[in-house]
Structure 1
């Protein structure tokens, strides 16, 4: 019985290391990009390519989380009292080298899947994929980590939000259209919002650690205001596409997700302690997930009905 409990705890530690609730930031863009290819362009979906892209994206996301874990420990930003989703090294005694090894292993598997994706679509994607993987490492690794700069939200939004949507679209269509780009913008903005919410929570610790994130540079209250704008822009963008670009009215079902960002902003405005604002981060991540799914579902409903 004791061995079973220890095994369960061990599994939970390794599962926690991947930061599973963040993986939707890679899953949703793949789903959305593939749905756009099916519904807007009328392409027949290659499901092997879809699943290869999905697994590769999630592996890169998990590896990026592990790089973050590794370098936060190396730079002394993580300790036993840190609040957040990391801390596997300081709380559970996992070797930093082991974490780096697993992250590189995930990158290796993603690279093999990338070779298959390129062989089935275009080898031009090899350069794009390698750049994305490099950015995943440089987000917290290297001499000038992106996460420690004011550009974390922008870079993560472009790569994980818009970039993954467009790659998932491209491997099904062998092209990138204006509609695909326009429909990927909210994904870009909301992935950036996830990063901004994380930086708002960690603003005190990051300041002490020497980071220069957007939240630190503009101040906490202004950062919360910018986060509000991220949410507002995402919803208004879809409404604008419906009115101006002729995207189906079914896309407006994304409005059903509005309670999530409202809750997130309310918490950030009323509370400041890292532990107290953790639910706000969860609601921000859920906004990205639910918004993306609802947008894809709206496109699918219109496709199936008409």
Structure 2
């Protein structure tokens, strides 16, 4: 069943809409950098810390996704022109404030699981954890949402890249190495590519809602090149950090990415980009698996 351009499951339950608002298909964006950073540890890994880091990163993302569902609805970005799955708040079947309260609950849960992490590294990490929550809220919340100002890409690069990846490595070793920072750029860039695929799809509805992403400002051609550049840069980074030929394994995503890059340039209707979004997430998953195998 459809509502305008939005895809609506037949008789969706409140639970299904809540789960949909959490956007589980995007969860690899928060899990990948933690796995990559931990895979670079050259000694025994503290599994409890690894699990806490995974949960912290995941809860922050779920909270951000729920807050995004709420604030985009309030600001009118989830309108009839938007293409893709129907959002929970826009469905009219869930009270929007309940989505917002659930978002706050996930942010609080993230801070709770971060306690062992802060005990491990010190209270100086508290501002970093707090900033993850604040940026998650103000990405689409507040009078001047960061995502509406064209800052989505830089935030995705930073938080799904160096913050999560280097943070995971530091938890295990107490060190930050340049090779780890460089490797962190790959999941960050691939996460930006996921965001670009989303913004290419929503270019028209974003403009109508006053959501001025970089693609809404600079157009489709810019977005297509931005997408291609993010994937190509992510794919060549292993060349600069590999200590053996086996550690070049993650570069296998480069030939695999060709159909996705081609689709980013050659599409007639934004609906075709729903598949591009899914494919880019799978590319990130493949990169993470290959990187982890190569470095473990």
* TM-score in terms of structure 2 length: 0.91
Find the counterpart in structure 2 of residue 164 from structure 1: 164
1:88, distance to aligned residue in structure 2 (A):
1.1
Find the counterpart in structure 1 of residue 260 from structure 2: 264
1:259, distance to aligned residue in structure 2 (A):
4.9
After superposition, residues 65-104 of structure 1 pair within 5 angstroms as 65-79=65-79, 82-85=82-85, 87-91=87-91, 93-104=93-104
Find the counterpart in structure 2 of residue 23 from structure 1: 27
**Alpha-carbon spacing, 1:80–1:90, altered in 2? closer, same or farther (3 Å):** farther
Q: Is the 8 A contact 1:69 1:86 kept in 2?
A: no
1:299 has 2:295 as partner: yes
Find the counterpart in structure 1 of residue 4 from structure 2: none
1:118-177 per-residue CA deviation (whole Å, 9 max, x = no partner) reads 113322211111111111111111111111122210111111222100111111111211
1:249 has 2:253 as partner: no
**Alpha-carbon spacing, 1:86–1:52, altered in 2? closer, same or farther (3 Å):** farther
Find the counterpart in structure 2 of residue 3 from structure 1: none
Consecutive unaligned residues of structure 2, counting only runs of 5 or more, are: 1-9
Q: Distance in 1 between matches of 2:149 and 2:255?
A: 30
1:278 has 2:259 as partner: no
After superposition, residues 23-62 of structure 1 pair within 5 angstroms as 23-37=27-41, 42-62=42-62
Query: Which segments of structure 1 move beyond 6 Å, counting only runs of 4 or more?
Result: none
Q: Distance in 1 between matches of 2:117 and 2:252?
A: 34
Q: Distance in 1 between matches of 2:121 and 2:104?
A: 25
After superposition, residues 187-202 of structure 1 pair within 5 angstroms as 187-202=187-202
Give the root-mean-square deviation of aligned CA atoms: 2.0
Q: Is the 8 A contact 1:149 1:211 kept in 2?
A: yes
Consecutive unaligned residues of structure 1, counting only runs of 5 or more, are: 1-5, 301-306
1:85, distance to aligned residue in structure 2 (A):
4.3
Q: Distance in 2 between matches of 1:91 and 1:8?
A: 9
1:12 has 2:16 as partner: yes
1:92, distance to aligned residue in structure 2 (A):
5.4
More deviation in 135-144 or 247-256?
247-256
More deviation in 137-146 or 209-218?
209-218
Count of residues in Structure 1 that have an aligned counterpart in Structure 2 = 287
1:270, distance to aligned residue in structure 2 (A):
2.2
After superposition, residues 193-212 of structure 1 pair within 5 angstroms as 193-212=193-212
Q: Distance in 2 between matches of 1:203 and 1:7?
A: 29
1:134 has 2:138 as partner: no
Q: Distance in 2 between matches of 1:217 and 1:279?
A: 23
